Amino acid sequence: MGYFTFEHDCSNAPITLTIEVTYELKQFSGYDYARDYTEVTECSFELFCAGIDLTKCILNSKNQKLINEIEGAVEAGIWNHEETK
């Protein structure tokens, strides 16, 4: 189980978020013609601005561009966190 936080300046909304991420990775062994690979099997995150939890507010909004941006930042953050361990 991994955990980290990072700051994200949103390009689809005028806000800087502190994102707290909890995730789990699973490594799969390859066979015959399939290569070994690692994937994120569980992931959750919370979104804060100035200490205020905005997770439900943002994820229930209609701003799909912002939601997609945050999900992409979280995924990139997970792989960056794994590389720097």
Q: How many domains is the chain partitioned into structurally? A: 1
Bridge partner residues of 38 (DSSP): 27
- Residue 74, domain extent: 2-83
Tens of pLDDT along the chain (85 residues) come to 899 999 999 999 999 999 999 999 988 787 777 778 788 889 999 999 999 999 999 999 999 999 999 999 999 999 999 888 7
Tokens linked to 52:
């205020």
Tokens linked to 82:
């794994």
pLDDT tens, 76-85? Answer: 999 999 888 7
